[in-house]
C-alpha cells in the first residue's frame, strides 16, 4: 500500500467527518426543517428551502420575533421517508428546535408523525395528502390544500359544464395515488362516474399508450390528470399529438409557469384549480390575498431571478403561521404554541385564509382555490 494513497484517503475521510457542527446558543428561536431538496421530490423542496432561508434572513434584519433572532436548522431527506424520520429525531433530540416545518412529501410527514406525537413538538407539514390531518393528530398541522379539495373544485367546474362521464389518469407517486383515491371517493357526490382509471410512472417519457386506451372509452366527456412535475406535461403534449379533443383538467400539482413552458401550445384550454399565487396580477384590487402574493412573488424574484412556486408558498405560510403562533403564545413553549396554532382564525396566507380548529388542522376551504384556464399561453382566472 503506497504511503501516498493512504494519506490521500485519510484526507478524504477526515474532510468528510470534520465538518463544522452548528454552534449551539440558547437565545434564538430555532426552527427545524426537514425538506426533500434532492431526489424525485427535489424540485418541490428546493423552492421551499429557498423561501424559508430568504424570509428568515429578512425577519432577522427587522429584529427577529419577540426580540429573538431566528435560526433555521435544515436537513435534506433526499425524498426518503426513512431519512426524514432520522433527521426529525436529530432536530428534536440533538438540535432541540422549537417547532418543525417538515415533510415535502406525505410519506416523509407520516414517517415523522409518531416521533412528533411522542416528543410533543408542533410540526407544520408541506405535503398535500388529506391523511396528514385526517384523523386529526394533536401536534401536526399543514398548510397545502388537500387533494380532496382539488378534486372537488375540478368536479364543481365539470358539473357546471355538464360532464358526467370522466376519465382519471393518475401518477404512481405519493401525490398522484392519494389524489386518485380522493377523486374516486368524491366523484359520486358530484354525480360523476369514472369511466377510465389509468396510471403512469412519475418519470415516464411517453403516455400515448394510456391515452389511446382512454380515447377509446365510449361516451367519455373529460379527463382529469392527477400528478406533478413532468408527467402531466408529457400527457398534455401526447394528447395534442394524438389530436384528442377531450377537455383536459390537471391538479394543482402543476399550477406553475413551468407547466406552461413544458407543455407549450398543447396546454391551450387546460383547466385546473390553482392557488392565488399563480394569477397574482389578475386578482381583483380589493382581493385580500393580492398584497401578500404579489410581495412574495417580488421578493422571490429579487433573490433568485425565478418565479415562486406554489410549493414555496406553502413553506412561507408555514413560517408565518408558526411565528404568528409564537407571538400569540408569547414564547416558544411547545404546548402554548400548539394551542395558539389551533386557535388561528382568519389568518391570511399565500395559499388562502386559514381558520384552524381542534378538528381541522389545515383550516382552508374551497375558496382558497381559484379555477384557471390556459388562454393563449397564459393563466386566466375563471369565476
Interacting positions 241-300 with another protein (CB under 8 A): 241-243, 258, 261-262, 264-265
State yes or no: residue 46 binds another protein (CB under 8 A): yes
- Nearer of residues 175 and 354 to another protein, judged by Cβ: 175
Q: Pick the closer one to another protein by CB: 272 or 356.
A: 272
- Work out whether 85 is an interface residue with another protein (CB under 8 A): yes
Residue 111 binding another protein, by CB under 8 A:
yes
State yes or no: residue 104 binds another protein (CB under 8 A).
no
Q: Which is nearer to another protein, 178 or 183 (CB)?
A: 178
Of 241 and 333, the one with the shorter C-beta distance to another protein is 241
**Which of residues 204 and 317 has its CB atom nearest to another protein in the complex?**
204
Count of positions on this chain that bind another protein (CB under 8 A): 82
CB of 378 to another protein, least distance (A): 18
Which residue's CB is nearer to another protein, number 41 or number 318? 41
Chain positions 6 to 45 lying near another protein, rule: CB under 8 A, are 6, 8-9, 12-13, 16-17, 19-22, 37-40, 42-43
- Alpha-carbon gap, residue 362 to 321, rounded angstroms: 11
User: Looking only at residues 192 through 221 of this chain, which bind another protein when binding is defined by CB under 8 A?
Assistant: 198-201, 203-210, 212-213, 216
Question: x/- binding map, residues 149-188, to another protein, per CB under 8 A?
Answer: -----------------------xxx-xxx--x-------
Q: Which of residues 59-78 bind another protein (CB under 8 A)?
A: 74-76, 78
Tell me the C-alpha distance between 360 and 137, whole Å.
Answer: 10
Of the pair 45, 122, the CB lying nearest another protein is at 45
Among 107, 312, 313, 322, binds another protein (CB under 8 A): 107
> Where does this chain touch another protein (CB under 8 A) — which range of 81-89, 184-192, 328-336, 345-353?
81-89
Beta carbon of residue 278, minimum distance to another protein (angstroms, whole number) = 16
Amino acid at each position: 500500500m503506497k504511503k501516498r494513497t493512504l494519506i490521500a484517503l485519510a484526507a478524504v475521510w477526515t474532510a468528510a467527518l470534520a465538518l463544522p457542527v452548528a454552534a449551539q446558543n440558547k437565545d434564538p428561536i430555532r426552527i427545524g426543517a426537514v425538506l426533500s431538496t434532492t431526489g424525485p421530490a427535489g424540485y418541490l423542496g428546493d423552492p421551499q428551502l429557498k423561501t424559508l432561508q430568504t424570509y428568515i434572513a429578512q425577519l432577522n434584519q427587522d429584529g427577529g420575533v419577540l426580540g429573538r433572532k431566528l435560526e433555521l436548522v435544515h436537513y435534506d431527506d433526499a425524498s426518503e421517508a426513512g431519512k426524514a424520520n432520522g433527521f426529525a429525531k436529530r432536530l428534536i433530540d440533538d438540535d432541540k428546535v422549537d417547532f418543525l416545518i417538515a415533510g415535502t412529501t406525505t410519506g416523509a410527514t407520516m414517517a415523522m408523525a409518531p416521533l412528533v406525537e411522542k416528543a410533543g413538538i408542533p410540526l407544520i407539514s408541506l405535503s398535500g395528502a388529506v391523511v396528514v390531518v385526517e384523523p386529526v393528530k394533536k401536534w401536526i398541522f399543514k398548510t397545502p390544500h388537500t387533494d380532496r379539495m382539488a378534486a372537488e373544485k375540478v368536479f364543481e367546474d365539470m358539473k357546471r359544464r355538464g360532464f358526467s362521464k370522466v376519465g382519471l389518469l393518475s401518477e404512481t407517486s405519493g401525490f398522484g395515488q392519494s389524489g386518485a383515491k380522493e377523486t374516486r371517493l368524491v366523484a359520486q357526490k358530484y354525480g360523476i362516474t369514472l369511466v377510465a382509471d389509468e396510471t403512469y410512472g412519475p418519470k415516464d417519457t411517453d403516455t400515448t399508450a394510456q391515452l389511446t386506451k382512454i380515447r377509446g372509452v365510449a361516451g367519455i366527456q373529460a379527463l382529469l390528470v392527477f400528478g406533478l412535475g413532468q408527467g402531466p406535461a408529457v400527457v398534455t403534449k401526447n394528447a395534442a399529438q394524438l389530436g384528442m379533443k377531450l377537455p383536459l383538467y390537471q391538479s394543482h400539482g402543476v399550477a406553475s409557469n413551468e407547466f406552461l413552458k413544458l407543455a407549450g401550445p398543447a396546454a391551450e384550454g387546460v383547466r385546473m384549480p390553482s392557488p392565488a399565487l399563480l394569477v397574482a396580477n389578475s386578482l381583483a384590487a380589493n382581493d385580500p390575498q393580492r398584497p401578500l402574493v404579489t410581495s412574495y412573488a417580488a421578493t422571490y424574484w429579487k433573490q433568485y431571478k425565478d418565479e415562486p412556486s406554489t410549493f414555496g408558498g406553502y413553506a412561507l405560510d408555514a413560517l408565518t403561521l408558526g411565528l404568528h403562533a409564537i407571538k400569540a403564545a408569547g414564547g416558544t413553549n411547545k404546548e402554548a404554541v400548539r394551542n395558539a396554532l389551533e386557535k388561528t382564525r382568519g389568518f391570511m396566507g399565500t395559499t388562502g385564509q386559514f381558520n384552524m380548529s381542534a378538528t381541522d388542522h389545515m383550516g382552508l376551504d374551497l375558496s382558497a382555490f381559484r379555477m384557471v384556464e390556459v388562454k393563449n399561453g397564459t393563466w386566466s382566472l375563471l369565476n
